[in-house]
Amino acid sequence: MVELFISPLTETYFQKALIGGCIVAIVAGVVGCLVVLRRMAFLGDALSHAMIAGVAGGYLVMKLLFGLEAHAPGMLLGSLIAAIATVALISFVSRISRVKEDTAIGIMYTGIFALGVVAVSVFRHYIHIDLMHFIMGDILGVADSDLWASAFVAAIVLTILILFYRHFQISTFDPIMAASIGLPVLFIDYVLTTCVSLVVVSAVSMVGVILVVGLLITPAATAYLLSDRLEKMMVLSALFGVTSVVGGLYICVWLDSSGGGAIMLFCTLQFLVVLAVAPKYGLFARWLRLRNLIPQQVIEDTLT
């Protein structure tokens, strides 16, 4: 039994997947708490899908201008530009028209994602990108460059969140009060969106679109069921993200399945367990509260 846990740890590919996945899980879990509390979950999905246009653009530019194929920094820069452009377009459409932000997100991200797919198909002789790999990822094939990129982005994002924690906290829970005391609420929103973009951009090449969105939302939602304080929620979210990666990777090795799929399956099962047994907001606790309520008929009889 012990050998089942020890043996994978001796493999280099498993070690890299574990390190890279945990880095992504920690920073995504912390940022994801603000995303969930601000009801921006759809934005993470939008950014991750829109990145295909940036990857295709960066790939094409580096190939045609410099003769470099699959140049990681070029595609990373293209992805970041695509993410920022998506956010700018969403903000522009939602502010100058009667279209709400969630609708603008749906319009813009599908349009930009479609642009990337068309670009890949039109310039297929120059762009050699596996769309399935982009969507599903390959966490068991993590490269050293992916590890360094994710660690660098994680350090930047976590530093920003620590330095401006109070600003994010106030603008998240009471943006009106934040504006009244002079905080630049709009600028804080843009900084948070940029942090989300950086996390998504740095992680998609390693874990894929589906997994990065899952690690951004599900651990934070799980922690939300257990805590009413933001700092505790962030710690729990990072912890649930790490356990999802560790548990998912072991399941992947034991069952010889998809790495990203196994991690998200474990992550979702964690959420369902916490949803059932959470002491304050779980289904069982809710059932107990409903059972202990005094029947309405008894109250009416007492009052009369």
pLDDT tens digit sequence for 222-269: 999 999 899 999 999 999 999 999 999 999 888 888 788 888 899 999
| Residue bearing tokens 């490269």 | 143
Query: Cβ contacts of residue 223 below 8 Å, gap of 6+?
Result: 29, 33, 232, 233, 234, 235, 236, 237, 239, 240
3-state SS assignment for residue 202: helix
- Can you give the pLDDT at residue 269? 94
What does the alpha-carbon distance between residue 85 and residue 30 come to, in Å, rounded to a whole number? 24
- Can you give the pLDDT at residue 165? 92
- Kindly state the percentage of the chain with pLDDT values over 70: 90
What does the alpha-carbon distance between residue 12 and residue 20 come to, in Å, rounded to a whole number? 12
Q: Answer for the pair 283, 33: CB distance below 8 angstroms, yes or no.
A: no
Looking only at Cα atoms, what is the longest distance across the chain?
87
List the end-to-end C-alpha distance of the chain, in Å, as a whole number: 66
The residue-averaged pLDDT of 255-284 equals: 89
Each residue of 131-149: pLDDT tens digit?
666 666 778 778 787 788 8
What does the alpha-carbon distance between residue 182 and residue 169 come to, in Å, rounded to a whole number? 14
What does the alpha-carbon distance between residue 196 and residue 304 come to, in Å, rounded to a whole number? 58
What does the alpha-carbon distance between residue 233 and residue 222 come to, in Å, rounded to a whole number? 9
CA angle (89 as vertex; 129, 51 as ends), nearest 5: 15
- Can you give the pLDDT at residue 98? 81
Q: Answer for the pair 93, 108: CB distance below 8 angstroms, yes or no.
A: yes
Q: Answer for the pair 278, 225: CB distance below 8 angstroms, yes or no.
A: yes
CB atoms within 10 A of CB 6: 9
The residue-averaged pLDDT of 29-45 equals: 84
Which class for 255: exposed (0-12), middle (13-18), buried (19 or more C-beta within 10 A)? exposed
The residue-averaged pLDDT of 165-181 equals: 88
Q: Closest by alpha carbon to 188, among 175, 202, 201?
A: 175
- Can you give the pLDDT at residue 226? 92
- Determine which helix (DSSP H) or strand (DSSP E) holds 212, and give its type and residue range: helix 185-224
For the packed helices 185-224 and 41-66, what is the interaxial angle rounded to 10 degrees? 110
- Can you give the pLDDT at residue 294? 59
What does the alpha-carbon distance between residue 100 and residue 46 come to, in Å, rounded to a whole number? 15
pLDDT exceeds 60 at position 299: no
- Can you give the pLDDT at residue 4? 73
- Give just the sign of the alpha carbon dihedral 88, 93, 96, 101: negative
pLDDT exceeds 70 at position 303: no
Q: Answer for the pair 80, 153: CB distance below 8 angstroms, yes or no.
A: no
Q: Answer for the pair 120, 129: CB distance below 8 angstroms, yes or no.
A: yes
| Residue bearing tokens 């813009």 | 108
Q: What are the φ and ψ backbone dihedral angles of 281, each rounded to 5 degrees? A: -115, 10
Q: Token pair for residue 186?
A: 């709009």
The residue-averaged pLDDT of 65-73 equals: 67
Q: Token pair for residue 33?
A: 């708490």
